[in-house]
Amino acid sequence: MKIPRMAIVVGMVLIVVLILACGTTPTPTQDPGLEQTAIALGVMATQNAKNQATLQAASQPTAAPPTPDFYATQIAEAESFAATAAVMQAEMETQIAADAQAEATLPPVEPPPSTNPADSLVNPMEEVIQDMKDKNWFKADSWEYEDAGSFEQTWYDTKTIDRWGTGIDGGDVVIYGEASWRFIGTAKEGEQSGCGFSYGEGDLDHWHASFLTMDGVVHTYRKRGGEFIEMKGGNYYGKLSDPTKIVVVVENKMLSVFINGVEAVRFRDPYLGSGEVSFSVKTGSPSGFTCKIENAAVWRLQ
């Protein structure tokens, strides 16, 4: 590097001043003017040195521009970040799809059964009771459904009526069943053999029962304490199908019996009460009579 001439001159002056100032035999009567000159020359030299340094710094080039390797590094980092974001996005989409698939495969949640007739038509038996309501077989506007199941029994005693309870109690009720039978005997014995229901059974001595016998006649009996009587009957003149639909309606002390949709009996009895509904069988043949009732149902009228 080439040193400027001014710097050389200033340096030589500083050396002379130092030699004079550092003499081995100081003189107390040293000339004050010389000392002031040395100080002034030192200040000038310091200022010139600062100016020279400033000029040299200014003459140096600024920071070097980014190299191609620097740009490549930045691009690689950006691409790595984008790739990571893409992987995270793919994982999120996969998880969302898996959650949707899992939700789709869950079994549907079934609502609790409704007692509102308008909401319960999904149940086939509700269609049955709604059809009865539409035909004005009863006056109630709401009801509570009970499944009475199925029944099959053979009865041999020609002097008594037997009953098999359903465990369902009610006062104003609609009772439904699809009846069929097996019988070996004479036509006269068949007139006393039939399937039906008992209802309003408060105890063993208080109940009513209605039967459809094989000759198409509806018989109704009442047991009240020591009294046991047959009440008003009715005829069904249609053909007894297999099965035959039997419906018993008790509402406001009024009894109605329908066979295959046709009313066979209607009368009022002030002693119609509340109690258990049962399957009942009577026989006129010592060989027995087998009664089978399927799709039995009880609706409590409200």
pLDDT tens per residue across span 188-238 = 999 999 999 999 999 999 999 999 999 999 999 999 999 999 999 999 988
What is the percent of the chain with per-residue pLDDT over 70, rounded to a whole number? 67
What is the percent of the chain with per-residue pLDDT over 90, rounded to a whole number? 55
Per-residue pLDDT at 34: 46
Of 189, 225, 183, the C-alpha closest to 204 is: 225
Query: What average pLDDT does this structure show over 23-51?
Result: 48
Question: How sure is the predictor about 5, in pLDDT bands with cuts at 50, 70 and 90?
Answer: low
Residue with the bigger pLDDT between 11 and 89: it is: 89
Question: How sure is the predictor about 37, in pLDDT bands with cuts at 50, 70 and 90?
Answer: very low
pLDDT at 74 over 80: no
- Residue 156 has what DSSP assignment? -
Residue 106 is encoded by which pair of tokens?
A: 């869950």
pTM above 0.75, yes or no: no
Give, to the nearest 10 degrees, the angle between helix 32-59 and helix 5-21.
150
Question: How sure is the predictor about 16, in pLDDT bands with cuts at 50, 70 and 90?
Answer: very low
On average, the pLDDT of the chain sits at 80
- Contact in structure between 264 and 240 (CB atoms under 8 Å): no
